[in-house]
Structures are given as C-alpha cells and as structure tokens.
C-alpha cells in the first residue's frame, strides 16, 4: 500500500524511465491524468474502492414528503454503487412477530422518482416491499417507516482523489490501497493521453492503451484470487544460503 504522494512519485518514476521525460512541462496535465487513471481502475477493480459501507435510518430520521406518503433522505456520494437495500421490521408486542421480517424495496430509476412522491400510501407487505429511488444526492422511499422498522443501504463508492499539485500535506500523506501494479497501469494510461492529446501519435497511444488494459485486467484477476491483509509484508530478495 502507498500514500497518495508515494503513488504519484511511483507513476512519475515510470514516466521518466523511457528516456523522453514527457512528465516535464506538462505536470498539471499529468497529475489530472493520474487521477483519471485511478478512477478508471476503481471503476473496474472493486478491491481498489473503499470497503463496503452500510447506512441505516429508523422512524423519524428521514424527512416526510407528499403529505406523509413518502420520505426523503440524504445520500450524496460520488460514483456510488448500491449493493443491497433492506427494510427490517423488528418483532414487538404490537406486531406479534416471532422474529424480524425483511423487505427489499423495488428500486426505481432516478428520472422516475416522481412515481414515488406522487404515489405511495400502500402498506408494506411481502407482496409489496415498497419502492425507493435515488436522485441528485437524495433518496425517496415509500411507504414511510413504521416505529418498528429500519431501512439499511449497503453501498460502495469511488475515492475522489485530487491531483497531487492541488493536495494539502494531509491529503498527500493519506493511505491508499494502490500498489506498484496500479502505478504501472496508470503510467501507461498517462502515456496514452500524452501520445493521443499532446503528440497526436495515435499508434503509440493505441499501444499504451492496450498495455493499460492488460495490466488492469491482471490486477483484477489477482484481486479475485487473493484476500487482503492488514499487515502486508515485503518479500526479501537474496539472503539464501547454499549447501
């Protein structure tokens, strides 16, 4: 694992090894392309995103809308992937349940959220688990939560790294899940944009983009076969004895 500064330094070192030193004179462009390359890796490799997170709300923690027919909550995370949504109805003396009952609301596309704010009013049942829609940093849900219910959303999102030239010292020192393999991939991504956008060398651009995709594919395959550790070790080189 590397800090954000160490990762950018590793990418810069690789850019200089080809002898043409294309990092010089276009530092800000390079730094933006490093960020774009990392975002691309996160989009394709789940292990490079933050650990999945769950947020939960109970009765009274959401804002009632449409005369109490639906509720609205804040959910404003960049490049979010929602993995699961569960409404849990806890057993109480009033509902006569022997155990919790779980409902998974129907997810409606954001451009159709009006179907929730203009509709609603039905009770939550096994046949009708409710509906939810995400739009512009908010979610709209119906029916409203009862006193014995909670709603939980399991999600992941992409780290929004800043270009290293615009980072504070704390942001530069922040730990990341990025490795030398990721630096190798991003260095090809940056060279691809140098060739395509600055040199207009489409042959070299295509070559570097293929190398980027191949390295990205390799990182993804390796991440599927291994589990992470909280204390990674660096393999020792040399020191073996003969005889």
Identify whether 58 is part of a domain: yes
What element of type H or E holds 219? Answer: helix 202-225
Same domain, 175 and 210: yes
pLDDT for res 238: 46
Same domain, 163 and 152: no
Same domain, 83 and 131: yes
pLDDT for res 7: 96
Identify whether 136 is part of a domain: yes
Identify whether 235 is part of a domain: no
Identify whether 111 is part of a domain: yes
Same domain, 122 and 171: no
Same domain, 58 and 150: yes
Identify whether 241 is part of a domain: no
Question: Which residue among 95, 125, 156 closes a domain?
Answer: 156
Do 178 and 2 form a contact (C-beta atoms < 8 A)?
yes
**Which range marks the domain in which residue 145 is found?**
53-156
pLDDT for res 47: 87
pLDDT for res 21: 54
Q: What is the CA radius of gyration of the chain?
A: 24
CA 185 remoteness from chain centre = 18
Residue 110's SS3 state is helix
pLDDT for res 233: 56
Write out residues in the chain with pLDDT < 70, as ranges: 17-24, 120, 225-243
Identify whether 85 is part of a domain: yes
Question: Which residue among 132, 156, 180 closes a domain?
Answer: 156
pLDDT for res 57: 94
Q: What is the DSSP string of 16-65?
A: HTTSS-TTTT-HHHHHHHHHHHHHHHHHH-GGGSPPPEEEEEETTSSEEE
Same domain, 110 and 189: no
Same domain, 27 and 58: no
How many domains does the chain contain in total? 2
pTM of the model: 0.69
Residue 120's SS3 state is coil
pLDDT for res 154: 93
Question: Which residue among 137, 156, 175 closes a domain?
Answer: 156
Q: Report d(CA 214, CA 185) in Å as an integer.
A: 8
Identify whether 78 is part of a domain: yes
> Residue-wise over 8-37: b if at least 16 C-beta within 10 A, else e?
bebbbebbeeeeeebbeebeebbbbbbbbb
Residue 134's SS3 state is strand
Same domain, 29 and 75: no
Same domain, 168 and 128: no
Name the DSSP letter for residue 76. Answer: -
Q: What is the DSSP string of 148-210?
A: TEEEEEEEE----PPPGGG--HHHHT-EES--HHHHHHHHHHHHHHIIIIIS--HHHHHHHHH
Same domain, 17 and 63: no
pLDDT for res 141: 94
pLDDT for res 223: 80
Same domain, 37 and 67: no
Same domain, 81 and 141: yes
Identify whether 42 is part of a domain: yes
């Amino acid at each position: 694992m590397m800090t954000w500064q160490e990762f950018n330094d590793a990418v810069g070192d690789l850019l200089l090894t080809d002898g043409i030193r294309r990092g010089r004179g276009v530092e800000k462009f390079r730094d933006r392309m490093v960020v774009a390359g990392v975002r691309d890796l996160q989009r394709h490799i789940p292990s490079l995103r933050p650990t999945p997170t769950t947020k939960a709300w109970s009765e009274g923690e959401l804002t009632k809308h449409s005369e109490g027919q639906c509720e609205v909550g804040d959910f404003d995370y960049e490049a979010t992937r929602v993995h699961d949504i569960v409404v849990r109805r806890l057993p109480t003396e009033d509902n006569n349940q022997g155990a919790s009952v779980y409902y998974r609301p129907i997810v409606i596309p954001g451009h159709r959220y009006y179907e929730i704010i203009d509709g609603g009013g039905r009770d939550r049942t096994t046949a009708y688990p409710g509906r939810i829609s995400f739009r512009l940093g908010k979610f709209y849900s119906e029916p409203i939560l009862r006193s014995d219910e909670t709603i939980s959303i399991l999600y992941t999102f992409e780290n929004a790294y800043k270009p290293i030239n615009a980072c504070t010292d704390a942001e530069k020192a922040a730990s990341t899940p990025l490795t030398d393999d990721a630096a190798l991939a991003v260095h090809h991504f940056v060279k691809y944009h140098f060739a395509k956008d600055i040199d207009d060398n489409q042959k070299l651009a295509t070559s570097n983009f293929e190398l980027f995709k191949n390295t990205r594919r390799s990182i993804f395959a390796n991440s599927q076969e291994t589990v992470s550790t909280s204390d990674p070790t660096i393999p020792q080189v040399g020191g073996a004895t003969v005889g």
